[in-house]
């Protein structure tokens, strides 16, 4: 009897203990491995608080000045060279860049030779002599109508007819770099014209393998496929003002730093990085795209 009572007591104690403990354990949070939240710094405080570890990028004091370029997201030295009419290798050399892949957003690069005055280049060709307009059928005013009446006994007033002619306005000076003998780079028809702000050059149709010719004498400053949207690309620098770009080629027949002559075969037409076979042809004046049809000879 005593053993049964003892056994019942033990069973009751176990049942009560089971009812008091939860069936499912709460999940355990491992705070040691969870990342700690970073305290947010107000934008105004972050902008004003100087950091001893942050060094200004090279040429930062020249940002926005003529002859300098501020690197943007997605830029490469090849594109910077094209946009500023320079050989990308020269841009790297002028800025002491050993690895062309290591440029930073916000970095300011010199895009003119060190011995060139950026202000002189910025103003070159901008102004033009002002010429006074006059209708072709306009007649000069009569001398009697324009000359004052002379007083009695006084010397006669000089008339407009006897006045010396005004000196002719000087003609706009032609830059020596403008004297290039241009040639069409391909014989096919123009599929799409130059459009300011939309298309930076001409799209010339043709068949795969058609010859692509140098539009003028020059030196190859780029030959490769490292510029997105251009496919297999050749860039030729003709002088300090002009360079030309030939894009979407099937095959490149020249190498960088090679001298080419007007009409020389430099590539074969193709469709690299394009929807159809075509030659995308650009003429850039001081890095800015202009309408090639203005310079190419009439067909």
pLDDT confidence band for 135 (50 / 70 / 90): very low
Residue-level pLDDT at 210: 98
Q: Please, are residues 260 and 220 in contact by the beta-carbon 8 Å criterion?
A: yes
6 versus 294: the higher-pLDDT residue is 294
pLDDT confidence band for 179 (50 / 70 / 90): confident
Mean pLDDT of 117-145: 46
The Cα 52–Cα 65 span in angstroms is: 27
> Which domains does the chain show, CATH number per domain?
60-113 (3.10.350.10), 181-294 (2.70.70.10)
Please check the confidence at residue 173 and state whether its pLDDT lies above 70: no
pLDDT confidence band for 252 (50 / 70 / 90): very high
Q: Which range (81-90, 110-119, 282-291) has the least confidence?
A: 110-119
If we measure between CA atoms, which residue out of 171, 176, 194 comes closest to residue 292? 194
Residue-level pLDDT at 52: 53
The Cα 193–Cα 199 span in angstroms is: 8
179 phi and psi angles, rounded to 5 deg:
-85, 75
Q: Which range (19-33, 39-53, 66-80) has the least confidence?
A: 19-33
What are the residues whose beta carbons fall under 8 Å from the beta carbon of 201, sequence distance 6 or more? 194, 245, 280, 281, 282, 283, 289, 292
What are the residues whose beta carbons fall under 8 Å from the beta carbon of 169, sequence distance 6 or more? 129, 130, 131, 132
Average pLDDT, the chain: 76
The Cα 80–Cα 86 span in angstroms is: 8
Strand partners, 284: 243, 289
Q: Which range (23-27, 36-40, 53-57, 258-262) has the least confidence?
A: 36-40
Express each pLDDT in 203-231 by its tens digit. Answer: 999 999 999 999 999 999 999 999 999 99
Please check the confidence at residue 93 and state whether its pLDDT lies above 80: yes
Which two structure tokens, joined as six digits, stand for 218? 């020059």
Give percent above pLDDT 90 in the chain: 54
Q: To 5 degrees, how large is the angle CA 287–CA 226–CA 283? A: 25
Residue-level pLDDT at 6: 61
The Cα 57–Cα 109 span in angstroms is: 10
Residue-level pLDDT at 112: 93
Please check the confidence at residue 274 and state whether its pLDDT lies above 90: yes
């Amino acid at each position: 009897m005593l053993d049964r009572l003892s056994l019942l007591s033990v069973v009751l104690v176990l049942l009560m203990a089971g009812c008091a403990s939860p069936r499912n354990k709460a999940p355990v949070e491992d705070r040691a491995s969870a990342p700690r939240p970073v305290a947010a710094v107000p934008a105004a405080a972050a902008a004003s608080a100087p950091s001893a570890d942050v060094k200004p990028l090279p040429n930062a004091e020249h940002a926005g000045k003529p002859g300098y370029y501020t690197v943007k997201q997605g830029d490469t030295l090849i594109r910077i060279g094209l946009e500023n009419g320079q050989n990308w290798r020269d841009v790297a050399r002028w800025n002491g860049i050993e690895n062309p892949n290591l440029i930073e957003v916000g970095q300011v690069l010199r895009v003119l030779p060190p011995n060139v005055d950026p202000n002189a280049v910025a103003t070159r060709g901008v102004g033009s002599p002002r010429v006074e307009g006059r209708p072709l059928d306009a007649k000069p005013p009569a001398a009697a109508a324009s000359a004052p009446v002379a007083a009695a006994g006084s010397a006669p007033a000089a008339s407009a007819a006897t006045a010396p002619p005004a000196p002719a306005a000087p003609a706009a000076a032609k830059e020596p770099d403008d004297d290039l003998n241009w040639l069409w780079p391909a014989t096919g028809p123009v599929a799409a014209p130059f459009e300011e702000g939309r298309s930076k050059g001409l799209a010339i149709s043709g068949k795969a393998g058609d010859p692509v010719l140098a539009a003028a004498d020059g030196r190859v400053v780029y030959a490769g496929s490292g510029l997105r949207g251009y496919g297999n690309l050749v860039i030729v620098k003709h002088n300090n003002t002009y360079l030309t770009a030939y894009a979407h080629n099937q095959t490149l027949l020249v190498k960088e730093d090679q001298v080419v002559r007007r009409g020389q075969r430099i590539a074969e037409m193709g469709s690299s990085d394009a929807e159809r076979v075509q030659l995308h042809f650009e003429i850039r004046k001081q890095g800015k795209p202009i309408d090639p049809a203005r310079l190419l000879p009439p067909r």
